[in-house]
């Protein structure tokens, strides 16, 4: 009986309960979201796996301002490098949209819906889209932090694939917002087409989700997490 | 000739025959099932891989009451923790359905069919759906037990991916029931929409399949399985 | 110059040329084939990965009479075990088709085309289907032999995934025949529906392809292959 | 402050900035491209993973003249072997198209669009298609060079899967050109159907992209890259 009482008072017990609730919450949310389109979501996840091999050793292949911000907030990146990375990412995203041009981008939006450009459709309002982006980015960045942590400790499962799968799952769950999870990815088409309606959603949502994921992993779920770390 | 006779009398020979029959049975059943929709099935498998990285070390990232029950029945989890996990999972699933709301959930069902909510469609009856859920969960939980066993022995293949693939394959085979394989995943939308018809199917089927898978792996197929273990 | 002449006369040089021609042949053939349906092909590959974890250590999780025959021809399996495995596989396949019943199987064929049942459609003739099945099974069984060989030598890449991918790729390329690659998988629905037209195609094609793949790997491409082995 | 100044002057800092810009550029370009068809792109990536197991140890399983050219330009292959490989690849591609025949190939093009045969559709002009092929092949061959480099150093992630994912991602992004990324793959159907319009695009684009990728990886991004190497 005392064993049970001790378990009920232990930090580990409640943390594992929280983990089960969070895992089921994320799983059901992801599964319930009807995705706008399969193919862009699939491409995003597949590309993330390949890019991690291409540039992972050089810069981390973050390719996402929200992720860079989360790494900054958890002291895994200094401010100068963080700012320079975000600028480089925005530049890359705009360059990627250039050869398509405004006309091709509008055609794209008419085929896949406005989400293809990281814009808001008329299925939901800005608040719902913000919640979706925050949530989808949370699960993605949480996976990235967990994989990096396991990699440092030499765990066996191929984490790069898990990150790619999280990108696709998050994009497939983006019912109201398209699952951009990446401000740079939304910035490129916005610059080209000149459509800036609700663009803030794709900066605030992913940034909020990424920072929350980074902090909650580092200070709550990581095997090295402790109350002291949270205060420091 | 005596070698042949010995082989015919050996436990290993008959177990490998059973394995071939079971493997072909599972393979053909999975392939023959016309899935209700590709995208939710794909998302479920991809999400399972990422979540195993996120929460696997904290709580096992079970996220499924049926799996928790199977671990309980094979003495891999104590009763207090098992009960608390199921409650946490149900809470998480209901929370995940909240932001969508009843209206969005009904819209979802009209796009993907009632299976998207873990409900029974009109293509089959409750008995067929029960059989389907039992079977799909059996192959999923059997894979989970096998992967955990191999991981303990340090085998090389990435088992987390195999589990994710089994989730997708099982969901793709859910002709009559949608391949929920997870009571919590069906509970969330039921609470929100208030539709409880045949909801018992999604508790009895997965639980039965999961417990059968756990017991048959532990006592029949595991490399450490023995007749003594079955009696004890 | 003498180096070039020596290279031209070396067995290794011509074998690598043959490998490039074969790899491109297989790649282009697979890519050019318009698949009957994505979902059964995907399910088959995903299921193969999970089943290799479930039953791989018990019986090899062959689940395919054509593969069992190829292992028999390359002396990796004795005759008694081979025959018993084929019987077990056929039994499993028929059992898997039972709960669907003839009516559901015909419905399935009307949705996915006759290929879903491992039957011949009207897009091609029996000769083309035979060639397709032979070829698709060749690339699958060749991959299985290569992966098993690399696993024995402790190579790093996850070969179980590669086998699953080959199953899906082969099924996706089955323009005229549906890419069954597995006599048992075609036998199940045939027993239930009583339709045996061209059923021989699904026994001769996969068996021919599998045996050719096993022999050519063992005696030509394997790192341990030698002319002596071919004669012996 | 001096630390910051030193960082700004370091080669590593600017290289990592370039990596972030390039990664985001590639990611956004891949995601923005509406693919002509999911299934051929998926098959190509799955086939690449299996073929790497089948023939990787014999010849490298290049199966792509553009890749062979890139290996030639970076002195990883001698001229005789390179020329013989390209001939073998073209032979294999033509042989693969033979059993389908002109009639089946035209049928294929009417289902999937001309891209299925590695031909130009009417959605874009030859210049856009050339840019697309160059870019898609660049990201593929860059991934292959990075994976080979990491494999030599014994890195843990399964690089064969990353290469397969890059094949699919590149094919899914081939808006105007179909994402052939492989001259041999376009040659086969052209020989059979006798349609050679814009066929040069599928030789110049992939070759250019592949050589650029090989050179930029070897001389700029590889961990062993140095200014001396570039000059030598």
Cα D133–chain centre separation: 8
Residue among B37, B39, B44, B46 with most chain A CBs within 10 A, to mutate: B46
Q: By C-alpha distance, which of A73, A86, A63 is closest to A218?
A: A73
B72's tokens: 């309980």
- What is the rounded CA–CA span in Å between residue A8 and residue A220? 18
Rounded to the nearest angstrom, the minimum Cα separation between C206 and chain B is 16
A40, A46, A80: best to mutate for the D interface, most D CBs within 10 A: A46
pLDDT tier for residue D65 given thresholds of 50, 70 and 90: very high
CA B77, CA C180: separation in Å to the nearest integer? 41
- Picking from B88, B156, B188, the nearest residue to A28 by CB comes out as B188
Q: What is the pLDDT of residue D186?
A: 87
Task: Tell me how far apart the alpha carbons of residues B105 and C182 are, in angstroms, rounded to a whole number.
Answer: 40
Distance from CA of A147 to the nearest CA of D (A): 12
Please answer yes or no on whether B17 and C59 come within 8 Å at the CB atom.
Answer: yes
Q: Is the pLDDT of residue D107 over 80?
A: no
Instruction: State the DSSP H helix or E strand holding residue B126, giving kind and residue range, or none if neither.
Output: helix B126-152
State the Cα torsion B85-B86-B88-B93 to the nearest 10°: 140
The secondary structure of chain D, three-state, reads CHHHHHHHHCHHHHHHHHHHHHHHHHHHHHHHCCCCCHHHHHHHHHHHHHHHHHHCCCCCCCCCHHHHHHHHHCCCCCHHHHHHHHHHHHHHHHHHHCCCHHHHHHHHHHHHCHHHHCCCCCCCCHHHHHHHHHHHHHHHHHHHHHHHHHHHCCCCCCHHHHHHHHHHHHHHCCCCCCCCCCHHHHHHHHHHHCCCCCCCHHHHHHHHHHHHHHHHHHHHHCCCCCHHHHHC
- CA-atom Rg of chain D in angstroms: 19
Residues of D in contact with C28 (CB under 8 A): 92-93, 96-97, 184-185, 188
pTM over 0.90: no
CA distance A14 to A12: 6
Tokens, residue D222: 């590889």
Tell me: pLDDT of A8 over 60: yes
Report CB contact under 8 Å: A162, B49.
yes
Q: What is the pLDDT of residue D34?
A: 58
Low-confidence ranges of chain C (pLDDT < 50): 227-228, 230-232
Q: How far apart are CA C192 and CA C197, in angstroms?
A: 14
Q: List the structure tokens of C163.
A: 């086998």
pLDDT score for A230:
45
Most confident of A102-111, C221-230, D98-107, D162-171: D162-171
CA distance D158 to D160: 6
User: D21: which residues sit within 8 A by CB, 6+ positions away?
Assistant: A88, A89, A91, A92, A95
Residue of higher predicted confidence among A220 and D106: A220
Name the residue facing D42 among C32, C157, C172 (closest C-beta).
C172
Contact B100 A32 (CB under 8 A): yes
**For residue D37, which residues of chain A lie inside 8 Å, CB to CB?**
none
pLDDT tens per residue, chain B (232 residues)? 556 677 777 777 788 778 888 888 777 777 766 556 777 788 888 888 988 888 888 888 889 999 999 999 999 988 888 898 999 999 988 888 777 777 777 767 776 666 666 666 656 678 888 888 899 899 999 999 999 998 888 777 888 899 999 988 888 876 677 788 999 888 888 888 888 888 899 999 999 999 999 999 998 888 766 544 444 4
Nearest CA in chain C to B142: C54
Of C45-49, D151-155, D220-224, the range with the highest mean pLDDT is C45-49
Q: What is the C-alpha to C-alpha distance for residues C25 and B126, in angstroms, rounded to an integer?
A: 48
Q: Do D21 and A96 touch (CB under 8 A)?
A: no
- As a three-state string, the secondary structure of C87-111 is HHHHHHHHHHHCCCHHHHHHHHHHH
**Neighbour-count burial for C25-38, b at 16+ CB within 10 Å, e otherwise:** bbbbbbbbbbbbbb
DSSP string, A105-123: HHHHHHHH-GGGGT---SS
Predicted local confidence at residue C230, as pLDDT: 45
- Answer yes or no: is pLDDT of D83 > 70: yes
Residue D108's closest chain C neighbor by CA? C34
Q: How far apart are the first and last CA of chain B?
A: 36
What's the DSSP call for residue B35?
Answer: P
Question: Model confidence over A54-81: pLDDT tens digits?
Answer: 888 888 888 999 999 999 999 998 888 8
> For D155, left (φ over 0), alpha (ψ -120 to 50), or beta?
beta
pLDDT band at D227 (very low <50, low <70, confident <90, very high): very low
Report whether A161 contacts A50 (CB < 8 A).
no
CA A141 to chain centre: 5
- Show Cβ contacts of residue B177 under 8 Å, excluding neighbours closer than 6 positions: B115, B120, B124, B128, B129, B130, B132, B133, B136, B201, B202, B205
Q: Residues 6 or more apart from C231 whose CB is under 8 A from it? A: none
CB atoms within 10 A of CB B68: 28
How distant is the Cα of A221 from the closest Cα of chain D, in angstroms? 24
Subunit contact C39:B172, Cβ cutoff 8 A: yes
Per-residue model confidence (pLDDT) at position B232: 42
CA distance C107 to C125: 23
Q: pLDDT tens-digit profile of D12-56?
A: 778 888 888 888 888 777 777 655 677 778 888 888 898 888 888
With 70 as the cut, is the pLDDT of residue D120 above it? no
Per residue in A132-185, pLDDT (tens digit) is: 889 989 999 999 999 998 888 877 788 889 999 988 888 887 666 778 899 988
- Tell whether the model's pLDDT for residue D144 goes beyond 90: yes
CA distance linking residue C180 with residue B31, whole number of Å: 10
Distance of alpha carbon A52 from its chain centroid, rounded?
Answer: 15
Residue with tokens 């790729």: C169
Residues found in chain B:
232
Question: Could you tell me which of D166, D137, D27 has the C-alpha nearest to residue A118?
Answer: D27
The rounded distance, in Å, linking the Cα atoms of D214 and D229 is 13
Identify the closest residue of chain C to B222 by CA–CA distance: C58
Of the residues B53, B99, B165, the best mutation for testing chain A's interface (the one with the most A CB atoms within 10 Å of its CB) is B53
* CB-CB contact of A39 with A46 (8 Å): no
Mean of pLDDT over chain B: 82
Residues of C in contact with D95 (CB under 8 A): 21, 25
Contacts of A35 in chain B (CB under 8 A): 39, 43
Cα dihedral D50, D51, D56, D60 in deg (nearest 10):
-140
User: How far is residue B65's CA from residue C58's CA, in Å, rounded to a whole number?
Assistant: 28
SS3 assignment for A6-47? HHHHCHHHHHHHHHHHHHHHHHHHHHHCCCCCHHHHHHHHHH
pLDDT band at D9 (very low <50, low <70, confident <90, very high): confident
pLDDT value at residue C115: 66
Q: For A42-60, what is each residue's pLDDT tens digit?
A: 888 888 898 888 888 888 8
- B108/D141: higher pLDDT: D141
- Tell me what ipTM this predicted complex has: 0.85
Q: Do A28 and B185 touch (CB under 8 A)?
A: yes
**Chains with 3 or more CB pairs closer than 8 angstroms to A?**
B, D
> Do B209 and B201 meet the contact criterion of CB atoms below 8 Å apart?
no
């Amino acid at each position: 009986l005392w064993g049970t009482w001790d378990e009920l008072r232990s930090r580990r017990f409640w943390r594992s309960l929280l983990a089960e609730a969070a895992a089921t919450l994320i799983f059901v949310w992801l599964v319930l979201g009807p995705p706008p389109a399969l193919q862009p979501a699939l491409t995003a996840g597949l590309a993330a796996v390949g890019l991690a091999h291409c540039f992972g050793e050089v810069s981390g292949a973050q390719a996402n301002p929200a992720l860079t911000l989360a790494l900054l907030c958890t002291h895994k990146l200094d401010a100068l490098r963080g700012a320079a990375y975000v600028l480089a990412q925005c530049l890359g995203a705009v360059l990627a949209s250039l050869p398509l041009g405004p006309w091709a981008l509008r055609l794209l939006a008419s085929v896949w819906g406005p989400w293809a450009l990281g814009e808001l459709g008329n299925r939901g309002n800005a608040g719902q889209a913000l919640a979706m982006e925050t949530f989808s980015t949370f699960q993605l960045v949480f996976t990235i932090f967990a994989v990096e942590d396991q990699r440092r400790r030499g765990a066996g499962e191929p984490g790069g694939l898990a990150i790619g799968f999280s990108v696709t799952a998050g994009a497939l769950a983006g019912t109201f917002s398209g699952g951009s999870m990446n401000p740079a990815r939304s910035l490129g088409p916005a610059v080209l087409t000149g459509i800036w309606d609700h663009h803030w959603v794709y900066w605030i949502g992913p940034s909020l989700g990424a920072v929350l994921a980074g902090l909650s992993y580092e200070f709550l779920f990581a095997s090295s997490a402790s109350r002291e770390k949270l205060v420091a």
